[in-house]
């Protein structure tokens, strides 16, 4: 047996370049949203082929901002997948609207368009689809079931650099939000980016992220009329990204395509090397787009696997290999279960994903030997 290794489920790839990038803002004294954030936004918009990109403090605050800018509020319903990170549903509650869950496909882990169609009511104002783990949702099928006027939003937390039929994630619907949390492919510590081609929505979001101010701090400080304070005609929030993060984001964005290419190679290695393990189903490799591989999420067949998923995870942990469930079924979380009277079987696909998905390590700081070690540990269990 090879020596025991310690392999994290995910590690951010940051170093000297990011460190150096923070020097400029620290020396200039302009620390909050300013020139570095503006530069990051411009580059991010270009990379994702959208007209507007607005940096924010996290994907969660960005999703809230997006819904608020679209005027979503009490009395409205917003459909979200039942298998996703809890933030996708929480942001709907922040606005006073009601989250309505739709089931997911156990093959893609993404929202099931047929179930989504069944959840639409006259109160449906929007859908937030999630490109979970970096695989784009089936946007054509989703659009086909949406009545005119229902907004189609993307939760791109895991999808920086992903694309569908040649169009980058972030520009596949009316607006989208990305995450730069350290478990994502590119990171600014915490952080997010709202993208849209809708200038009106972008303008409102721009004000709302800065307390509802009609002009930004930078415009105000650099402007010719020092006596002017901005107008505040909207109730806003403080969701501004710092220039320190903007500087780090620029460096990370420059590495995005390399990170995805490396992750793709590693994903193919896993797929090929683990193909013989019949009870371990591989994630979908799309032939109509780019998977961003934020995570490599397998499915442990509960009928044919030699051990329960959790026992397999414990075995791997004992060998120094971190694994995680893909994510959670929101309708099974205490708050949602109790508030909306939900039971696990209400969304069987989501429950299945909750109970049987297993993310195995995949990130840009793993070596070829690390990947081989994971394969050999799984093969030993098989």
In the complex with ligand PLP, which residue's Cβ is closer, 59 or 135? 59
In the complex with ligand PLP, which residue's Cβ is closer, 84 or 354? 84
| Residue of 225, 224, 166, 174 lying closest to 195 (CA atoms) | 174
Q: Which of 4, 123, 184, 308 is catalytic?
A: 184
Length of the chain equals 382
In the complex with ligand PLP, which residue's Cβ is closer, 239 or 373? 239
Alpha carbon 60 to its chain's center: 9
Shortest distance in whole angstroms from residue 33 CB to ligand PLP? 17
Shortest distance in whole angstroms from residue 85 CB to ligand PLP? 3
Distance CA 162, CA 293 (A): 8
In the complex with ligand PLP, which residue's Cβ is closer, 22 or 58? 58
Secondary structure (3-state) at 300 = strand
CB-CB contact of 91 with 115 (8 Å): no
Q: Token digits for 141?
A: 């099928």
Distance CA 183, CA 10 (A): 6
Provide the β-strand partners of residue 99: 78
In the complex with ligand PLP, which residue's Cβ is closer, 181 or 331? 181
Distance CA 41, CA 250 (A): 9
In the complex with ligand PLP, which residue's Cβ is closer, 183 or 315? 183
Secondary structure (3-state) at 21 = helix
In the complex with ligand PLP, which residue's Cβ is closer, 158 or 378? 158
Indicate the angle between helix axes 243-273 and 368-381, nearest 10 degrees.
50
Secondary structure (3-state) at 56 = strand
Shortest distance in whole angstroms from residue 191 CB to ligand PLP? 7
Q: Cα–Cα distances in Å, from 53 out to 227, 243, 307, 334?
A: 30, 15, 46, 35
Distance CA 171, CA 194 (A): 10
Distance CA 81, CA 100 (A): 8
Is position 184 annotated as part of the catalytic site? yes
* Beta strand pairing call for 175-179 and 52-56: unpaired
Contact residues for ligand PLP (CB under 6 A)? Answer: 58-60, 84-85, 87-88, 130, 155, 157-158, 179, 181, 192
Shortest distance in whole angstroms from residue 192 CB to ligand PLP? 5
**Sign (positive or negative) of CA dihedral 364, 370, 372, 373:** negative
| Helix extents (H) in 138-216 | 139-145, 199-208
- Catalytic residue annotation: 184
């Amino acid at each position: 047996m090879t020596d025991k290794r310690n392999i994290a489920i995910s590690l951010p790839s940051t170093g000297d370049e990011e460190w150096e990038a923070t020097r400029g803002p620290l020396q200039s004294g302009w620390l909050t949203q300013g020139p570095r954030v503006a530069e990051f936004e411009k580059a991010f918009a270009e990379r994702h082929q959208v007209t507007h990109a607005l940096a924010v403090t996290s994907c969660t605050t960005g999703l809230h901002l997006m819904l608020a800018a679209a005027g979503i509020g009490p009395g409205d319903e917003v459909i979200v997948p039942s298998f996703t990170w809890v933030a996708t549903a929480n942001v709907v509650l922040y606005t006073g609207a009601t989250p309505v869950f739709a089931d997911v496909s156990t093959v893609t882990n993404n929202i099931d368009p047929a179930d989504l169609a069944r959840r639409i009511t006259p109160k449906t104002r929007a859908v937030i689809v999630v490109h979970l783990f970096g695989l784009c949702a089936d946007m054509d099928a989703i659009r086909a079931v949406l009545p005119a006027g229902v907004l189609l939003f993307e939760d791109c937390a895991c999808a920086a650099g992903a694309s569908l039929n040649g169009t980058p994630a972030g520009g596949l619907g009316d607006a989208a939000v990305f995450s730069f949390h350290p478990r994502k492919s590119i990171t600014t510590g915490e952080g997010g980016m709202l993208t849209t081609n809708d200038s009106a929505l972008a303008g409102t979001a721009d004000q709302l992220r800065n307390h509802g101010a009609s002009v930004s701090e930078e415009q105000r400080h650099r402007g010719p009329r020092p006596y002017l304070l901005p107008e505040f005609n909207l109730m806003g929030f403080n969701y501004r990204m710092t220039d320190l993060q903007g500087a780090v984001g620029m460096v990370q964005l420059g590495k995005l395509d390399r990170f995805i290419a490396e992750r793709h190679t590693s994903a193919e290695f896993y797929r090929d090397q683990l193909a013989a393990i019949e009870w371990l189903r591989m994630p979908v490799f799309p032939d109509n787009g780019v998977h961003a591989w934020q995570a490599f999420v397998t499915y442990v067949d509960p009928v044919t696997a030699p051990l329960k998923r959790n026992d397999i995870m414990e075995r791997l942990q004992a060998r120094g290999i971190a694994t995680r469930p893909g994510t959670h079924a929101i309708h099974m979380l205490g708050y949602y279960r109790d508030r909306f009277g939900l039971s696990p079987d209400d969304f069987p696909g989501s429950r299945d994903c909750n109970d049987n998905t297993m993310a195995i390590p995949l990130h840009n700081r793993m070596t070829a030997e690390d990947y081989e070690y994971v394969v050999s540990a799984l093969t030993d269990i098989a």
